[in-house]
Structure 1
Amino acid sequence: MLRMPIAVVLLGVAGMASSAQQPHPPGLGERGNEASIAVDINAAGQVAGIIEEDSGRQRAVLWDKRLVELGTLGGSDSFTRGINIGGDVVGSAQDSDNHWRAFVFRAGLAMRDLGTLGGNSSYGMGISRSGQAVGYADTSDGYFHAFSTGRNGDGPLVDLGTLGGNISYAAGVNTDGVIVGTAALSDGYRRAFIYKPGEGMKDLGTLGGRSSGATAVNDSGVVVGTSETPDRRWHAFVHDGKKMVDLGALIGYGDSFATSINAAGHVVGSIRIGDERRSFVYRDGKMSVHPGGFGLYLVNNINAEELVIGARYVGKKFQASTMHSSQRPVVTHGGTDLVSLILVVLTGTAGIVIYRRRYRGIVMQGANRIIRFKFPQN
């Protein structure tokens, strides 16, 4: 299979970020044939990312005006998944037995292994302002369940349970300790869930299909994710606490996946049309789509300063980049019909067929699991 390296333009910004943030020069400090990917950015402009060596080894890194190597837990590989306003990073690293373990990294301290729920491995997926980490971990019976640490990131892992099935995984957490993710029902189908302290796990339903999954929640409790529709498509959604709103219907084509939401309620994500990817921003009631060559090929996050972080596909490689959520789109839905979209000449998309399989689970959504994690199995 063709090996397609991933190069990144990372945005490190000195001082507090603003709408005038400028991207850092290309790369995370990788050398030679090393590749890199930007995963998350906070309001201070600190970026959590990954550098991949030519051998395939992954290293969790933080860009904070300079490159900071986060290390491992005794094994060879590590990767990041999120960063909070204080610069605390959550992710996963291999231990000396080559098991993946969820970690939290805080400046000046060693990487901390968060443990498991009785099995061998765990994966860190999100972290709140206070340092509460969430993710999923192996259980003693061979399945995996969503977990949470204490509100300040302390204490043993708490098993959040499921919706009647065998598995669950948490993807995001807000300041109030509200957690979202995906859990299996007793019939095996998976549903987006919201977990509130003292209330437990609640099924958020679907857009008429069989399955759904949640990826992020803001401090107002608004949830975003992806749901199957009656015609077996995948549509991005936003759930305001009362109902699930179909963002994919505003786009009108392809499969769409919402990946992040900020404090203002602005939602970002990706659209998949065959092998092509487009980015979207749902902002102030309008859906803006940026076709290939005009926006981000991969969309990972949007921070409080309206900076959207992801990657473009340039010169047969991924190149992490950003755009402001108010960047002028090529097509705006909710006032402009879709005919104009058909007339757009797509650029820069020829040959975009294959990229490294292990990254598909980190930055994209899969149809079966909503988030398909392609990590080594131990």
Structure 2
Amino acid sequence: MKVLHVITGLGIGGAEQQLRLLLRHLPVRSRVVTLTNPGAVADGIEADGTPVTHLGMTGNRDVGALPRLTRLIRQGGYDLVHTHLYRACVYGRPAARLAGVRSVIATEHSLGDAQIEGRRLSAGTRALYLATERLGTSTVAVSPSVARRLARWGVPPARIHVVPNGIETTRFAHDPTARARTRAALGLPADAFVVGGVGRLTPGKHFDRLLRAVAALPDAHLLLVGDGPERAKLLRLAAECRAADRVLLTGAVPDPPEGPGERPDLPSLLAAMDVFVSASPDETFGLAVVEALAAGLPALYVACPAIEDLPPEAAPGARRVGGAVPELAAALDEVLRERGGRLVPPEALRRYDIAHSAEQLLSLYHRAVRGPHPVK
């Protein structure tokens, strides 16, 4: 089977890195087209052996991208087109149909209750999405929560399939040697209580609240892994809170890394932490929380469908907390006082193994190619 993946961009982000992981585990011939921003993840995908083409789209209204993408799909002779993220879905589904490819699957990675890919939802956004959704074979939701949101939007439930995001669970097993090495490299005291967070530094992630909560605890350090437009604001806030010497921003870290390097990788950075916090109130999955649990960390979260969709006892190391600064500070103070050490990763993580997700997706591919197709 020959599959073309179309994605909006390939800078460092959850959906982008999830695509890279899937490509490592899908036993099909694949190629990737990125509409914009062929960044670090594009380099990683090519290093893994999958070709990447940059379409050169200049913006949401660059309608000239549609015929360019249509020609590329037609010339490639693909059996199936798989789109990822809103803009790629809106352009990729009609392009596939115009090119004569009738098997089109879209993965919805970023539909929250009030936003999609960090932008506020609108009637126009929904209408355009639904108009192009009808051109596809099926839509993949990364969690039951996203599946319910798609159904509320108007996507027929029979066309929605849940395939959860996944991780390479064994890579995140806690390594005490990596913990010591990473703390030394980052200048973190060996005995410091380190609060961690991972994600794009954007307003919706509420890292400012986490920073204020950590600043209220004199014995705590904050280690944030990621980059984004809020970086300078967070550094100013740390100075205002007189906690600049206890706040460390590492920048974005590709995961998996392209190859051995001097910078710590994500499992090593998680090893350096004592507790993980996700302060975002609107998540579509919560992959970073899953990675933290795989690393044996206690995890505090404001919203995390990956955990909320499990039975309460399935992930004992994860705990839902309020998103206000006093609530975050109180929860962190409780963890600090307990300092229970590393936890055993829960058995529920098997559900989120990337090999299992790829297996489910491959089954959908075969059904899409061999089964009935939408009527033109």
TM (normalized to structure 2)?
0.27
| Structure label with greater radius of gyration | 2
Structure of higher RCO (CA pairs closer than 8 Å, 6+ residues apart): 2
Higher helix proportion (structure 1 or 2)? 2
TM (normalized to structure 1)?
0.27
Higher strand proportion (structure 1 or 2)? 1
